[in-house]
């Protein structure tokens, strides 16, 4: 569904992605793990056209999107939940969700999707008239994921959904990420430092170090890999 081939990305002189290749198959949950500064966020931002690839190619469903503007990429169904959530703080929960659906005009289906995200995260239904900026960190992450779902993405890109959240909330969020994949067959591409949860949730995973992919396997095999255990799982 999504294919990155020998992608190179630079920030000025900094060579952040040094020729990465990876593939996301329709219906999968894929996790990309790695240490701080490995290039995980850059991989997502390059995929959705926010940071341009200098070399290599990115294909979505057979279409070359390497140099496509990011708004066009969103219209194709690739939707990112950025690191740090970035919801609209002065809009209510319901208004934030409406914003997620702004490219759609199928009112009945939008209403169904809103009910669906409220069923995933009942706390958001309770808080529907509350300003987004007054939600807790975990609730804001729930809202950010829900807002992205309102666009009915074909691929959901999640950048560090666990960042700054209590372990119990992180577990809940990962449970729901799996549920979204199962309920709607939404393809999910997660970038995470919490390797344990990210690999547990994933069909397949990639390990990234210093701008290159060093390992790929099923989530289960990566969790059993001695190098991964030592470097990322603290075992």
24, 39, 58, 158: residue in contact with ligand ATP (rule CB under 6 A): 39
Nearer to ligand ATP among residue 47 and residue 96 (C-beta): 47
Q: Give the separation between CA 160 and CA 193, rounded to whole angstroms.
A: 7
Instruction: Tell me how long the chain is.
Output: 235
CB of residue 115 to ligand ATP, shortest distance in Å: 34
User: Which of these, 84, 114, 120, lies nearest to 101 by C-alpha position?
Assistant: 114
Of 24, 38, 97, 190, the one binding ligand ATP (CB under 6 A) is 38
Q: Which is nearer to ligand ATP, 20 or 93 (CB)?
A: 20
Interface residue with ligand ATP among 13, 14, 168, 234 (CB under 6 A) is 14
Give the max Cα distance, the chain: 51
58 strand-pairing partners: 4
Q: Which is nearer to ligand ATP, 33 or 148 (CB)?
A: 33
Q: How far is the CB of 184 from ligand ATP (least distance, A)?
A: 27
At residue 212, the 3 state secondary structure works out as strand
User: According to CB under 6 A, which one of 6, 26, 37, 106 is a site residue for ligand ATP?
Assistant: 37
Q: Which is nearer to ligand ATP, 77 or 84 (CB)?
A: 84
Nearest to 203 by CA among 20, 27, 3, 1: 27
Residue in 11, 63, 105, 168 binding ligand ATP, rule: CB under 6 A: 11
Q: How far is the CB of 229 from ligand ATP (least distance, A)?
A: 19
Instruction: Count other C-beta atoms under 10 Å from residue 196's C-beta.
Output: 18
39 Cβ partners below 8 Å, 6+ apart? 9, 16, 17, 20, 208, 210, 211
Judged by the rule CB under 6 A, the positions of this chain that interact with ligand ATP are 11, 14, 16, 34, 36-42, 193
């Amino acid at each position: 569904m999504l294919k990155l081939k020998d992608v190179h990305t630079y920030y000025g002189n900094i060579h952040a992605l040094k020729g990465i290749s990876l593939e996301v198959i329709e219906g999968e949950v894929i996790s990309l793990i790695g240490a701080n500064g490995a290039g995980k966020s850059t991989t997502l931002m390059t995929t959705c056209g926010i940071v341009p690839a200098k070399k290599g190619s990115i294909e979505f469903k057979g279409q070359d999107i390497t140099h496509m503007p990011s708004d066009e990429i969103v219209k194709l169904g690739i939707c990112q939940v950025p690191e740090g959530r970035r919801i609209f703080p002065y809009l209510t929960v319901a208004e934030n969700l409406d914003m997620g659906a702004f490219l759609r005009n199928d009112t009945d289906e939008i209403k169904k999707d809103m009910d669906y995200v409220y069923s995933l995260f009942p706390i958001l239904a309770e808080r529907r008239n509350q300003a987004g900026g007054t939600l807790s960190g975990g609730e804001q992450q729930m809202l950010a994921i829900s807002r992205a779902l309102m666009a009915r993405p074909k691929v959901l890109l999640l950048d560090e959904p666990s960042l700054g959240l209590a372990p119990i909330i992180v577990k809940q969020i990962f449970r729901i990420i799996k549920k979204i994949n199962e309920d709607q067959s939404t393809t999910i591409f997660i970038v995470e430092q919490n390797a344990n949860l990210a690999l547990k949730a994933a069909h397949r995973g990639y390990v990234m170090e210093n701008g290159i992919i060093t390992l790929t396997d099923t989530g289960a095999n990566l969790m059993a890999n001695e190098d991964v255990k030592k470097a990322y799982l603290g075992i």
